[in-house]
Amino acid sequence: MMRSIALRLRTAPRRFPERLARFSTAMKTTSTDPLSLKVFEDLRDMKDAGTFKTERVIISPQRAKISVENRKEEVINMCANNYLGLSSDPELIEAAKEAMDTHGLGLSSVRFICGTQDIHKELEEKISNFHQTEDTILYPSCFDANAGFFETVLTKEDAIISDALNHASIIDGVRLCKAARFRFDHMCMKSLEENLIAAKDARIKMIATDGVFSMDGDIAPLDEICALAEKHGAYVFVDECHATGFIGPTGRGTPELKGVMDKVLVITSTLGKALGGATGGGNTRPP
């Protein structure tokens, strides 16, 4: 699969957007500036490698068939995370309009100063009830939820044991904290146990994994992971962005699918994929 993706990247049209083409041309003429020179060289290298990405501008709501700029006919959209088709659901759109009428567009503040409204608390309670957890903290995105968790909870006395193919937001969150870092081979329980043994002297041992790995669709063996966590006195953290809402008998994600809803310490997830929201995420934990 990765070879085919790499081949498509190499053979894809290498078209710079007009504004970046102008930008790179301008930088070329001022190449004595080290920052401009570096940015120009980086853009050139990405273009030569076939990894430079251009925006596909959608001029319709997000859905299975979309309209894009410079095409008369609709195209089939197979790359969104709109798993349940809720991004353009009429009921959700109407509810969003009503919320703006009653609570405004934004708060112009962080939550702990004057940025928490009753609807935030109501949403946190509903998410907790859905996941059958004690409480939930909302973040602007799950990327932020992952970044905020590890640094807040873990210190240099602790250890994180992370799946090798975890999402970049987990990796960035791990980098922000001072805990010792261990990486186990993707979904390999032998490798996980070896790393748990290596981290045996840590005060807190936190196993971090995606529930569903978005690139290949692998589902983490959470039942086996939780069994090893219990054996070695560790905790389990799961990112459920690509599982919440549609994995498991009632859509409660990988912990429900694997029968370990009461064994996972922290679940992070998003409102911006299967649940249809523009953004938003949070972390939630059992009682």
Instruction: Provide the residue-wise pLDDT of the chain in tens; the chain has 287 residues.
Output: 434 433 343 334 444 444 555 555 555 555 578 888 999 999 999 999 999 988 889 999 999 999 999 999 999 999 899 999 999 999 999 999 999 999 999 899 988 899 999 999 999 999 999 999 999 999 989 999 998 899 999 999 999 999 999 999 999 999 999 999 999 999 999 999 999 999 999 999 999 999 999 988 999 999 999 999 999 999 999 999 999 999 999 999 999 999 999 999 999 999 999 999 877 788 777 66
- Exposed, middle or buried, 194 (CB in 10 Å: 0-12/13-18/19+)? middle
pTM recorded for the entire structure: 0.84
* Amino acid letter for position 236: V
Q: Do the strands 205-210 and 235-239 form a parallel or antiparallel pair, or are they unpaired?
A: parallel
Q: What is the pLDDT of residue 26?
A: 56
Q: What is the pLDDT of residue 10?
A: 39
* Dihedrals phi, psi of 60, to nearest 5 degrees: -140, 170
Please report, for residues 133, 153, 228, the alpha-carbon distance to residue 224 in angstroms, rounded to integers and kept in the order given.
21, 24, 6
Q: What is the pLDDT of residue 31?
A: 59
Q: Which of 125, 143, 174 is nearest to 241 (CA)?
A: 143
Catalytic residues: 214, 242, 273
